[in-house]
A and B are shown apart, each in its own frame.
Chain A
């Protein structure tokens, strides 16, 4: 019998995942005290514990890069791609925690358990991003989805909140069931749960119709989490229903880990053989085209800025899936760079609502009128972030798209690249509407009166996160080589075994 305790290398693989989970398990215990005077301090403590856990997880993840061999524990394997994704998730979660402190105080209620759920979700995402074992992949999926279902429905007093939560739960359960069914079929046909082994194992019936059905069901589960059309209907409702920081976290982290898992499962087109490979590529192509067209056109006609951002996040899924269509190492690297910039852009964009102190259901363009002049720094950040989302040249968002389109042209998908450029032009329309509302429209008299009567908004932390987002977006435009060569390229090389 081998010894039961993990070795130190195995602990190194477990630590980044254990820390958020442990903090999340401790936090609900701390909240039992109902004394109002004590609760204020407990609340601050809860946030401190959450940030500490994320920081510790970050430290352990940063440590991973220095070791020559990547640690693994059972079905977990923390390679460079897992390290990249882990840091991505931790940063997104830290920004969301900081924003939620301000947002919940603006709303006038704080449930510390929401932070606990957020941390559980972080653990789940790390599990999801660092395994090729389908069973563990499924458990990671559930571990990060279930907290998000509850987080969406946090605000009981608002009916749209529980509606969004229920929708998310039911559609998510259906997608998870499809995913599980796919796993069962693949396991039944090949006798292994490891998708990377399955691919290379001799005698795998890669062209068997049933095998293709299994892969298709898996894809449904992934694409649901990526929120690509036609599996996108839940996205706008859920984002609008959930608190602003949670919506930002969901749009960034859920999409990010799902994309990384897709990269892991479908690394390049040759990986799945001559019959299945083109089929999968065809699916990606169809999904990308549908996503770009539907999401961009729907986003144009929204009246709620938050709903517009939800559709915009769907359209960004379209650009990312285009990278999978190209499937070259360069395109996959571009996708990781895109994800990093997307993190800065979307956490910043959703953070704007908190930074401007918009609470409740105040998320239409009308509510944004003139706010750019009232908070000049935030206005500037908003402009930078939104232009980057649209893909205006010197900013980070442009280079993400550029890297993907370049590889698309190189692999002969010129039509798709043209469609992508056209889609970004269309997206300019709705992002400009946001900026026009911020700067060029004067607030109505009612809004002016309300603004003078309202107490001073507490949003310094949220403003800080938006500022960080804007700085990252600009830095992504001028110093992308650091990020690309330092992390993204190494992650993809490690995954494909190039080097």
Chain B
């Protein structure tokens, strides 16, 4: 058990990567838009996991906030507004009660076990420090590195990106506007 956990921990990056590919495949393959969005959400979560394993915490958290938070909600809104009239709500939401109960129970067991271990288990031999070189001041933190990249080394690409967003906006206006003289 201990060995399995260790080897899992050592291969987190390929695991997250493969899971992300799986989520992307689900997104493309599934015939229901809601499932596609869930596949996308899963893929984005796994990509965030990849970032975390690469010690890019800032990017990982930004990925979670922007993609898993903002963009998926936006997609879900679109799907709800466009698609929902096609299906009866009952068919989507009320068939999976048993599966959901099982999943929640499983999750509770895992979290409860971890909590019990942390509260009543044996104390760790040494204090856990994430990346001691940051606390020493030997290297810059993650957010600093990202901002240095964005606003100094890659300022030009960053600004070009902002123009691309504007283009998307104007393009949407052109497509939505009716023709008239």
Contact = CB atoms under 8 A, between A and B. Distances in A.
A73 B156 contact: yes
Interface stretch (A141-149, A266-274, A414-422): A141-149
Interface stretch (B8-16, B72-80, B112-120, B171-179): B171-179
Contacts of B167: 117, 120, 143, 146-147
B161 A157 contact: no
B113 to A, nearest CB: 39
Contact of A117 (B160, B164, B174, B178): B174
B63 to A, nearest CB: 17
A154 B160 contact: no
B126 to A, nearest CB: 35
A21 interface: yes
Contacts of A139: 157, 160-161, 164
Contacts, number: 77
B146 to A, nearest CB: 15
Nearest to B156: A74
B181 A109 contact: yes
B170 A24 contact: yes
B166 interface: yes
A296 interface: no
A151 B161 CA distance: 20
Nearest to B178: A156
A136 interface: yes
B179 A74 contact: no
B180 interface: yes
Interface residues of B, number: 22
A155 interface: yes
Contacts of B170: 24, 28, 113, 116-117, 120, 147, 150
Contacts of B175: 150, 153-154, 156
A493 interface: no
B171 to A, nearest CB: 3
A25 B166 contact: yes
A135 B154 CA distance: 9
Contact of A21 (B163, B168, B173, B174): B163
B155 interface: yes
5 contacts: A111-B179, A136-B160, A143-B164, A150-B172, A156-B179
Interface of B: 154-157, 160-161, 163-164, 166-168, 170-175, 177-181
